[in-house]
Structure 1
Amino acid sequence: MDISCQFATSLHSPEHIAVAEQLGYHRAWLHDTPAQSPDVWAMLATAAERTHRIGLAPGVLVPTLRHPMVNASGAATLAALAPGRVALAFGTGFNGTRALGAPPATWSYLSTYVRTVRGLLRGDTVEWEGVPLRMMHPGTNAPQRPVDIPVLVSALGPKGLAVTHEIADGLFSVNGETAHAHEFAWAALGIHGTVLGEDEPLNSPRIRAAAGPGNALAYHAAYEFGGDPTALPGGRAWLDAVSAHPRTERHLAVHDQHLIGLNAADDAAWNAGSWQAITATTVTATPDRIRDTLSAYAQDGITEIVYQPTGPDIPGELERFITIAGDVQLKPS
């Protein structure tokens, strides 16, 4: 099982990716979240110049944010800077779209979009919105087509899984969803959390910074996907804080600091006890428990763990996790 990492894209991401390479991580994924992050392609290109081995990938690209030619050109540029190290992942959009007050893409739109990007990278003339397109980059502006870059799709539910089987090389899962991993030769799973120190309380300031944002994701997702945040510890305080905002601005309250820190609603929930859910919503545990969890993921068919560190000590979180994860050698059954 490969051990990779992901980051909420920041101006420090290139240096964090360089640290991850030194520590032995397989690949680094950067979020495509323009409402709170610098441009994902710019940060990946900078990381390419600072690294030599580690894989580089946007994860995940949201089709409604860019014309397909823009992402095809960005992918080809990165492939020129980091030959053989690039992958792509696409999704319908969570924070990337909802923080803009916009809906996610439909699965039919994503399917057409990904096919178009892949066709462009092959050097095909494709049609987009009734207009023929082709990458016309001369030799000094992009690698010669075809540009062979593998693609994952982030999907939950039957429609998304069916599209993933049709158009992608593998599945990108989140939130512990492993039920369909065995259907794919490449199944990546994004996780959050931190390694617990001996007798370290779950509500400590370090755990709040290192695992709090991953825990808050459960509240954000419950709200956006029709769940009930009040079913989670501290959920009533979280929902009351969000509901205090005008309805037209609640997406700003929900997605502020998404997977970076705790926003005002997340903080209210934390003070009301949301930290009690951390061992269920994130992979926050003792070293032995983390090894057991990763081994179980491997048995479920996960072939790539994608760990996202948060807090003020990203290098330290990366080192603590890979020290433990490196001991897990099980392959999916």
Structure 2
Amino acid sequence: MDVSCAFPTALDSPDHIALAEELGYTRAWVYDTPQQSTDVWMTLALAAERTERIGLAPGVLVPSLRHPMVNAAATATLAALAPGRVAVSFGTGFTGRRAMGYRAITWSYMEAYIRAYRGLLRGDVVEWEGAQMQMLHPDGHAPARPIDVPVLIGALGPKGHRVAQELGDGLYVTLQLPEFVSQYSWVPYLVWGTVLGEGEGTDSEHARQAAGPGWALAYHGAYEFGGADAVRALPGGAEWMDVVERTVPERRHLTVHSGHCVDLGEADQAAWKAGGHTMLRDVTMSGTRAELRQRLDEVAARGVTEIVFQPCGPDVRAELENFFDAATR
């Protein structure tokens, strides 16, 4: 199983990607979350200039955020800067849309978008929004078409599975592993967590800083997909909802996603202090080296071909080093 990393697209992400290459990581994925991040394509371009080997990929692009021609042109640019190292993944928009108050895009839109995007990279004339268009880049402005870049699709249910099988080169997954994982030859699995010391409790300050942002996704996801009752069923969920419900409904998503994938928001901190940390091992890839090795073997047996680890906390180098050591030795 390949060992890759992910970053929440910050100003220091290009340097962190260079560090990940130094440590031996296979690929670096960065998020398309404009409401809280620097631009994904600018970040990857800077990373391309600072690296030589590591794969570079947006994970995941949200189609509604850009015209397909914009993403096709950006893909072509990155493929020229880092030939043979680029992959692309698309998703319906958990953070990239819900944190701005939108619902996920439909799978019919996703399918049409990816068909147009892939057609543009092939050099085809495609139709989008009733207009005929083609990549017209002359020599020196982009690689010659066709531009061959693998495309992965983030899917958890049957509609996404169908689109991924028909149009994708692999399945990009996070939060949970769907039953159909084993039907794909390339499956990156995005995880958060940390290597815990022997005897280290889940309530330690290190655990909170390094694994807490990933742990908090359990509450964010429960709220978005199951509502308040689903959150209250979790340890510390009542305290989490108490904070969220202080905000007027039309702005509640701002409170829910505060600090998403980076730090603990006010609601997350309330849940952690109320005992929510007790499920840290259950909802993140956290544990001792031996425990993580066993967990990684289990997900590999289910069909995961690439583990994608996002480090958090003040010491990114240590988190990257410790996870890579646990995953490879």
Same fold, judged at TM 0.5 (above)? yes
After the TM superposition, which residues 45-124 of structure 1 pair with which residues of structure 2 at under 5 Å, given as runs? 45-124=45-124
The offset of 1:177, in angstroms, is 1.0
Matched to 2:325, the amino acid is T
1:229 equivalent among 222, 231, 234: 231
Residues 73-92 of structure 1, C-alpha deviation per residue, up to 9 Å, x if partnerless? 11110000000000000000
1:285 to 275, 282, 287: 287
Show the counterpart of 2:36.
36
- 1:262 aligns to 2:264 (yes or no): yes
| Distance across 2 between alignment mates of 1:141 and 1:253 | 43
Q: Which residue of 2 aligns with 1:181?
A: 181
1:307 to 306, 309, 321: 309
Kept after mapping to 2: 8 A contact 1:178/1:301: no
Q: Secondary structure at the match of 1:136?
A: coil
SS of alignment partner, residue 89 of structure 1: strand
Is 2:14–2:43's contact at 8 Å kept on the other side of the alignment?
yes
1:219 aligns with 2:219: yes
Aligned residue identity for 2:208: R
Partners of 1:213 and 1:32 in 2: CA distance: 17
Q: How far, CA to CA, are the matches of 1:72 and 1:141 in structure 2?
A: 13
TM-score normalized with structure 2 length: 0.98
CA distance in 2 between partners of 1:325 and 1:23 (Å): 12
* Other structure's SS at 1:180 match: helix
Contact 1:122/1:147 (CA < 8 Å) preserved in 2?
Answer: yes
Equivalent residues of 1:72, 1:117 under 8 A apart: yes
Contact 1:178 1:300 in 2 (8 A): no
Q: CA RMSD in A?
A: 0.8
Q: Which residue of 2 aligns with 1:330?
A: none
CA drift of 1:176 comes to: 3.6
1:294 to 276, 293, 296: 296
What secondary structure is seen at the aligned counterpart in 2 of 1:191? Answer: strand
The answer for the alignment partner of 2:327 in structure 1 is 325
Counterparts in 2 of 1:289 and 1:178: CA distance versus 1, 3 Å? farther
Deviations 1:41-80 (A, max 9, x none): 0000000000000000000000111111111111110000
CA contact (8 A) 2:116 2:126 kept: yes
**What's the TM-score, normalizing by structure 1?**
0.97
Note the C-alpha offset of 1:178.
4.8
**8 Å CA contact retained: 1:89, 1:154:** yes
How far apart are 1:278 and its partner, in Å? Answer: 0.3
Amino acid across the alignment from 1:2:
D
Tell me the equivalent position of 2:25.
Answer: 25
State the alpha-carbon separation in 1 of the partners of residues 141 and 260 from structure 2: 35
Q: CA contact under 8 A between 1:216 and 1:262: conserved in structure 2?
A: yes
Say which SS state the counterpart of residue 225 (structure 1) adopts: helix
Contact (CA 8 Å) 1:126, 1:134: kept in 2 or not? yes
Secondary structure of the structure 2 residue equivalent to 1:28? strand
The offset of 1:108, in angstroms, is 0.5
Q: Per-residue CA shift, 1:229-252, capped at 9, x if unaligned?
A: 111110110011111100011010
Shift in CA distance, 165/71, structure 1 to aligned 2, threshold 3 Å? same
Cα distance between partner residues in 1 of 2:252 and 2:116: 34
8 Å CA contact retained: 2:156, 2:178: no
1:275 to 257, 274, 277: 277
How far 1:138 sits from its partner (Å)?
Answer: 1.3
User: Percent of pairs identical after alignment?
Assistant: 56
Give SS of 2:171's match. strand
Per-residue Cα deviation, 1:212-262 (whole angstroms, up to 9, x for no partner): 000000100000012501111101100111111000110100111100000
| Structure 1 unaligned spans of 5+ | 328-333
| Alpha-carbon shift at residue 130 of structure 1 (Å) | 0.8
Task: Tell me how far apart the structure 2 counterparts of residues 323 and 195 of structure 1 sit (CA, whole Å).
Answer: 10
| Letter in structure 1 aligned against 2:77 | T
Partners in 2 of 1:246 and 1:202 — Cα distance? 33
Aligned residues: 327
Letter in 2 for 1:208: R
